[in-house]
Structure 1
């Protein structure tokens, strides 16, 4: 009984402190993740010795836990730089949409977590300093994590590049330093993207198309494309029988725009694009002598970011025609003007809002032909693709090509009660469409190669069409074939739980 009275508060302090780092276990409980919880609690142990530093730790860990509860719920992993990229380019309208669709489970978990942090923080602030000072051995244990951090700082400052990489790889797993690393990686991407891309020295080969149109979709899943096997509503009815059309299912390389769209623009992840100063397909088209138009109905980001820079740096005409609305048809008049431009060779990019949540707001009421709102949004996209293809065909271009894909899809019933960003196979399998007129029909087989590919096929298709196909043969080109996600091949992904990819 005496021992319990003496050591009970100490055991309570240690357990309460350890549990403050438990959100590290949200992606999954393994021996390694349990070890990292213990390591994280040890490395920040020095903050438990003073009330002010203890409360600082509790507040930071409470906020980190809420962020991670939502991020793991939606994407299955702890907060990363792509969440920061998404948050910083989020508009008030998107915030309103997000809060109107907040699921109950992460809300309840967040509320319980915050209550626990307040209660444990109050108890620790009252008990921990006295308990730790009352044990001769424990009163000096704050020095151990200080020495560990000092060793890491010195090794990072004077160690080799390989050692620095190992330090980064390990400290990223210390909770909650993943937030600091995410902010730093986003900062590096944001500053380095301003560097001009490294363009090919050699001149382009003869162009294979005079007018190239790229439609960048949003949140469209191939699992709801009737042309790709969907047995429900005929969501692609307007496209049926269109001569010169080919479609396939491709793999997105991310679950949100920040992670997925860079692959469509440059063929690489955003970090790799920045590190290698990779040209986008717009940069290469401009280098090849094309007049580049970008017409966008995506929402206006409050700060310039990777996408604004990549979409505008080689563009002759850049127009924001909507802020996610009223609907993507707002792009049609400007698209007609771009087609009529006298430039002999043109690249026209239409950046749509597609099937972005809230899906019932993504199409005109008169196109609500199906009971399912997501199917209606795909039908509207199909209607626009048919219209825009017809306008391109009638433009008089001798050789014209239109390419379409979506950055990613959405999680949907039965995996979810609604349509939203999230972790599922439907979020990764997206449609790819290629159309060519009679003069460019010979290009179709190259635009729709056999086998599994990512939606970086769009970038590769444009690069071939404008005469820079040799770039795709370079040893450093990552290629769209045999895509992976989190180390899993596409075939392996299809063997996992379709709702969780676990």
Structure 2
């Protein structure tokens, strides 16, 4: 017979373990140095949320039942925090919604059984506590619930006050930049910024963000659903055809060894036959969410609309009988991604392969290689594969594995601000390492295409450039309206089989390597290279066509890139009057 006191202690220990388990995702974020923000925005809100659920009913057992879903997700949340140093967010939810995780290189590889065991243990803890609460008829004493509700009301009022202040700042920012759409300015509640790492509130915030952005993109997608180019392949090319468009990230042309850079950043591509580098390619935008749609579609460089008005080259290739694929290491939604995800959704098959997007180290771009191999193994006669990579997105040192830490010191494994000018050397070394890693990924993609012996081509275009404290300039990142913002790396490779079928086009591609090009020409160039035509085709936009004509390269704000004035320090552009 167990002594009642011992039994009570055991039951108390079980309840304590259950409470610690519920709070585990917050407790593992305990700061090394005490911060009141941690108490105010993490510990208290998490505890208050659980208490609120339990106080909804006079009998505590019903509150315990409401806690079960959050308890079951604790192991996954802790795993996510330890593995990716971030909480579950809308990106993670979108990955689950958009992609088969088994094909996404094993998001839970090696820890599935451990998570399952933890879930079983937590269910046992919860079941024992629930049974005890049921048998003992646990319930709130008189006056407890109203007191708790007053506390919750105070916390809600405090959060609402912060929310109001934030919205006033947001409105002021919108007035300064009226071109920025409501969606693009991320009209999410202030709680997103404060509760995004507070379990389980982060789940509710993430679900809301996911819902808002999915509804916004779905509405636009429905408007584009019936859009048609009327594209056909005329004349048809014989044999198997594969076209790969790689949308790069933040890659500058002057950092390629191929273009004369002193460092060995592209040693593999430098020895690749039929590879052309275009050192004078520019993008009209320095923001991913606006620059990538310009690459993919006929959207003008000066078009300020966030969402596209028509479909992309993915749809054009589909109309011509191509199987289409979109593989990405970026995010399926978000302020920087939703306009791009609309075009991704046009593809027959879509996979997002990186559980954390660009915010943490996550998976590297080479995860795309086995994914492409699976696509090529399907042996379809006509394939278009679009790859959206992380490339050289900041933090640069997060974009490559340790074996590519070639130029040191690079600060890999450290937290470095891109705005810290004292970290100039670290940032530049890490950036060059990321370029060398892109060289590795592109080289292997080309080898995969070579092995198919198909008529194939790979076109790589970066979305925008980057400032990295160049010369005496104190600017870093992008969006500063400098020459470095708009110059982008661009490469074209084609197979011997395509060269034999398209001798004039491949010769023109070679002859125009030094010409002034713009990413607005990618749409018509790629279609023309594949012999795709459509009623409104503009062959003067295709640099592989005899009709191509160089024209004024006008940036998003209306400035002509080639005639603009440049300040002597940062090369910031301004119109000539």
Give TM class, smaller chain.
0.5 to 0.7
User: Contact 1:295–1:334 (CA<8 Å) still a contact in 2?
Assistant: yes
Q: How does the TM-score come out when normalised to structure 1?
A: 0.60
Is 1:198 the counterpart of 2:198? The answer is no
- 1:430 aligns with 488
Kindly report which structure 2 residues correspond to 1:369-408, keeping only aligned pairs within 5 A, or say none.
369-371=406-408, 372-397=429-454, 399-408=455-464
Q: Select the structure that is richer in helix.
A: 1
Q: Secondary structure at the match of 1:378?
A: helix
Q: Specify whether residues 357 and 337 from structure 1 end up closer, same or farther in structure 2 by C-alpha distance, changes over 3 A only.
A: same
The change in CA–CA distance for 1:331 and 1:491 in structure 2 (over 3 A counts) is: same
Q: Compared with structure 1, are the counterparts of its residues 272 and 471 closer, same or farther at alpha carbon in structure 2 (3 Å cutoff)?
A: farther
Residue 266 of structure 1: which of 283, 286, 297 is its match?
Answer: 297
- Unpaired runs of 5+ in structure 2? 1-162, 196-214, 409-428, 543-547
The one of 478, 492, 498 equivalent to 2:563 is 492
* 8 A contact 1:215–1:350 mirrored in 2: yes
Displacement, 1:316?
A: 1.6
What is the DSSP-based 3-state SS (H/G/I as helix, E as strand, rest coil) of the residue aligned with 1:200? coil
Give the alignment partner of residue 246 of structure 1, picking from 267, 270, 276: 276
How does the TM-score come out when normalised to structure 2? 0.53
Matching of residues 136-151 of structure 1 within 5 Å: none
CA gap of 1:198–1:475, structure 2 versus 1, over 3 A, is farther
Q: Does 1:225 align with 2:324?
A: no
Alignment of 1:82-481 (within 5 A): 84-85=183-184, 87=186, 191-195=219-223, 196=225, 198-201=227-230, 203-208=232-237, 210-230=241-261, 232-248=262-278, 249-269=280-300, 277-302=309-334, 305-313=338-346, 315-323=347-355, 324=357, 325-371=362-408, 372-397=429-454, 399-414=455-470, 415-416=473-474, 418-419=476-477, 422-441=480-499, 442=503, 443-447=505-509, 449=512, 451-470=515-534, 473-474=537-538, 481=551
Q: Distance in 2 between matches of 1:496 and 1:83?
A: 33
Distance 1:481 1:446, change over 3 A: farther
- 1:483 alignment partner, one of 539, 544, 553: 553
> Which whole-Å deviations, capped at 9, do the CAs of 1:453-489 have from their partners, x for residues lacking one?
2123332232113332455644998998432112222
In the alignment, the residues of structure 1 paired with residue 177 and residue 317 of structure 2 have an alpha-carbon distance, to the nearest angstrom, of: 37
* Other structure's SS at 2:250 match: coil
Q: Distance in 1 between matches of 2:245 and 2:508?
A: 16
After superposition, what is the alpha-carbon deviation per residue over 1:428-453, rounded to whole angstroms, capped at 9, x for unaligned?
Answer: 00011000011112232454646312
CA distance in 1, matches of 2:553, 2:194: 32
Contact kept, 8 Å, 2:397 with 2:434, in 1: the verdict is yes
Residue 280 and residue 62 in structure 1: after superposition, are their counterparts in 2 closer, same or farther (change >3 A)? closer
Q: Secondary structure at the match of 2:184?
A: helix
1:201 positional shift:
3.6
- CA change 1:302–1:492 in 2 (3 A) is closer
> What is the deviation of 1:337?
0.8
Are 1:78 and 2:177 counterparts? Answer: yes
SS at the partner of 2:432?
A: helix
The structure number with the bigger radius of gyration is 2
- The 3 A distance-change label for structure 1 pair 273 and 379 is same
Structure 1: gaps (5+ residues): 1-55, 69-76, 97-186
Q: How many pairs align?
A: 347
Q: Secondary structure at the match of 1:286?
A: helix
TM-fit CA distance, 1:297: 0.5
Secondary structure of the 1:375 match is helix
Can you list the C-alpha shifts for 1:298-340, whole angstroms capped at 9, x where unaligned? 0242588322121112x12111111333210111111111111
User: Cα offset for 1:241?
Assistant: 2.0
Return 318-327 or 338-347, whichever deviates more: 318-327
